[in-house]
Amino acid sequence: MKKIFSILFFVCLVFTFLIACTDVQSYDPSFELLDVQVDVISDRRIDAKYITTGEKKGRKIVPTALYFEFTFINKEGKITDIGERLKIKIEPHDELIKVSKKTVGFDIFNLDEYYVSDLGHGKHFKSWDHFNQKGTYILYYELGVDEEYSETYFLKPSPESLEILKDRAFDATLVFYLDNKEISRIDLNSNEKSLYQGELE
């Protein structure tokens, strides 16, 4: 009898534990955007390419890119394996799409359109504090290269055009995905006044 009671007690404990785990996993993360930095940069630490054809074959080039750093905190539950599970995307509003097309020649936020150039884009975590659920995420979109490499790549836009594109960079929505499921949206326009739109040091 004692043995049966012990088994039943153990089963109840396991069942309770499983329910608790399920409750924890069912939390939907709640993100708060703490800071945004946006700049137009040429930095070989972000990306560098080699020309593969022509007289300048083998030359290294560093494209100019529109670069974002988003610092945010998750205020609900805990996210594990965040590098594999969490994705962040910028959805541009109509005005930003227009400026992008006028500046570069295509919508840089529509990644399928990069086939028209030899340029690229990228994203990764710069940092993540699991204990505090706070991190910094980087997104960048290449815009062109210097004139001396123009035989194989898009030329970068004029300084005036790049400044206009940077000024309109907040005309977008930041979208968070966990396990490919949309979990949060933040309108960067509505957050612009409370965020620091700074240049990288």
Distance CA 59, CA 24 (A): 52
Residue 160 CB partners (closer than 8 Å, separation 6+): none
Q: Is the pLDDT of residue 126 over 80?
A: yes
Residues contacting 199, CB < 8 A, separation 6+: 37, 39
117: left (phi over 0), alpha (psi -120 to 50) or beta: beta
pTM for the model: 0.76
Greatest mean pLDDT range, 64-68, 109-113, 116-120, 146-150: 64-68
β 60-61/49-50 pair status: antiparallel
pLDDT of residue 71: 94
Over residues 140-181, the pLDDT tens digits come to: 999 988 866 655 568 899 999 999 999 999 999 999 998 999
Q: Which amino acid would we find at residue 163?
A: E
Instruction: List the chain domain ranges.
Output: 29-198
Q: Which tokens go with 101?
A: 């097309």
Give start and end residues of each alpha helix (H) in 26-158.
Answer: 82-85, 94-104
Q: Judge whether 66 and 166 are in contact, CB under 8 Å.
A: yes
Strand partners, 114: none
Whole-number pLDDT of residue 28: 57
Find the angle CA(156)-CA(174)-CA(24) to the nearest 5 degrees. Answer: 140
